[in-house]
């Protein structure tokens, strides 16, 4: 039977917006040593906006944005919402598109009258061997150094431009990270975003160990590798790209407002958008487990 103290602790946490799905998660929480944090939507607001654009020669920013918005029309990714919002703000109506595809952790593509449009990160551009990347890459180097995320846009295999997206840390993120470190935990940032934005977010949040360019599978393998070293690992994320890692972690924290896949995979749901609930849950668990023993 579940010790009554676990039930009481769960109730207290629930009132603070931390919902423990299984009592066993509350037990493993006390032993957690490493906390892996996703970036977009977890450490950051996850409401990025288009902060700058660089069309390829012969292209206007408006034309590139319109096509990008057509490809992103149905994607649930926060970057897709940012691209659509900027097009709307400029009064641009994206052309109709079909044959949509979304490569998790890479980007999207769709067919419209002009041809096949793709939008995604550097890995997508490299994998698909897009040409005419020079100007977009020069732009990306500058914007990524500022901590922005750059998306590349292609028509067929020709790069027609790049978009820079800015996203802010959640106000409580640095404080939440500090609380975890004070509790003796190792905090890691694991993101699908590239090195520039990863480093900038880590620096701002006070995280020493970070890794960018991680696919969903890489986040999962990172957790498994730590577990093989005998370490007890918690993971926090919001996206479907985080779901495999959330399920594999000893304690998976899913941010409410994220995707259902993450909520299903996680063991603990954070109903408030901030990360402070992670420290709260670990502290409550340590206290409870001490009382049980």
Looking at the annotation, which residues are catalytic? 38
Instruction: Please check whether residue 159 is in contact with residue 136, taking contact to mean a CB–CB distance below 8 angstroms.
Output: yes
Strand partners, 237: 254
Residues 79-118 that bind ligand ADP (CB under 6 A): 79-80, 105-108
Spell out, one character per residue from 3 to 42, where the chain touches Mg ion: x when CB under 5 A holds, - when not: -----------------------------------x-xx-
Name the binder of 107 from Mg ion, ligand ADP, none, CB < 5-8 A by kind: ligand ADP
Q: Does 222 bind ligand ADP (CB under 6 A)?
A: no
Pairing of strands 268-270, 34-37: unpaired
Q: What is the distance, to the nearest Å, from the Cα of residue 149 to the centroid of all Cα atoms in its chain?
A: 12
Which residue in the set 66, 77, 170, 279 belongs to the binding site for ligand ADP (CB under 6 A)?
77
Is position 36 an interface residue for ligand ADP (rule: CB under 6 A)?
A: no
Write down the least CB distance from residue 77 to ligand ADP, Å.
3
Q: What track of x and - describes contact with Mg ion for positions 40 through 79 (by CB under 5 A)?
A: xx--------------------------------------
Beta bridge partners of 20: 268
Tokens for 228, please give them: 């093989």
Closest to 179 measured CA to CA, from 274, 266, 47, 271: 274
Residues 234-253 that bind Mg ion (CB under 5 A): 238-239
Report the residue number, 148 or 238, with the smaller CB distance to Mg ion. Answer: 238
Q: Phi and psi (nearest 5°) for 239?
A: -100, 165
Please, what is the minimum distance in Å from the beta carbon of residue 61 to Mg ion? Answer: 27
192 binds, among Mg ion, ligand ADP, none (CB under 5 to 8 A by kind): ligand ADP
Question: Site for ligand ADP (CB under 6 A): which residue of 32, 151, 164, 289?
Answer: 151
Task: Tell me the C-alpha to C-alpha distance, in Å, between residue 194 and each of 55, 79, 151.
Answer: 21, 14, 11
Burial of 189 (0-12, 13-18, 19+ CB in 10 A): buried
User: E-assigned strands of the chain?
Assistant: 18-20, 34-37, 49-55, 97-103, 107-112, 115-120, 149-155, 158-166, 186-190, 209-211, 233-237, 251-255, 268-270
**Among Mg ion, ligand ADP, none, what does residue 55 contact (CB within 5–8 Å per kind)?**
none
Q: Which residues bind ligand ADP (CB under 6 A)?
A: 38-40, 72, 75, 77, 79-80, 105-108, 119-121, 149, 151, 191-193, 239, 241
């Amino acid at each position: 039977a579940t010790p009554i103290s676990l039930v009481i602790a769960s109730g207290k946490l629930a009132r603070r917006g931390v919902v423990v799905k299984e009592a066993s998660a509350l037990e493993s929480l006390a032993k957690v040593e490493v906390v892996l944090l996703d970036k977009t939507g977890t450490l950051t607001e996850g409401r990025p906006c288009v902060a700058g654009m660089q069309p390829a020669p012969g292209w206007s920013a408006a034309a590139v944005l319109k096509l990008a918005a057509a490809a992103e029309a149905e994607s649930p990714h926060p970057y897709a919402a940012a691209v659509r919002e900027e097009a709307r703000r400029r009064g641009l109506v994206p052309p109709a598109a079909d044959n949509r595809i979304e490569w998790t952790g890479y980007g999207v593509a769709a067919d419209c009258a002009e041809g096949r449009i793709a939008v995604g990160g550097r890995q997508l551009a490299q994998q698909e061997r897009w040409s005419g990347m020079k100007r977009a890459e020069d732009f990306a180097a500058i914007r990524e150094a500022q901590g922005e995320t750059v998306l590349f846009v292609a028509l067929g295999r020709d790069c027609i431009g790049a978009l820079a997206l800015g996203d802010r840390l959640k106000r409580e993120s640095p404080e939440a990270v500090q609380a975890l470190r004070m509790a003796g935990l190792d905090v890691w940032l694991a993101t699908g975003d590239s090195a520039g934005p990863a480093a900038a977010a880590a620096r701002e949040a006070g995280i020493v160990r970070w890794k960018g360019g991680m696919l969903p599978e890489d986040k999962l393998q990172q957790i498994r590798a730590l577990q093989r070293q005998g370490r007890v690992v918690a993971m926090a994320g919001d996206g479907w790209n985080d779901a495999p890692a959330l399920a594999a972690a000893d304690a998976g924290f899913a941010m409410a407002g994220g995707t259902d896949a993450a909520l299903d995979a996680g063991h603990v749901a954070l109903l408030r958008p901030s990360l402070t609930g992670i420290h709260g849950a670990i502290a409550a668990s340590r206290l409870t487990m001490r009382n049980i023993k």
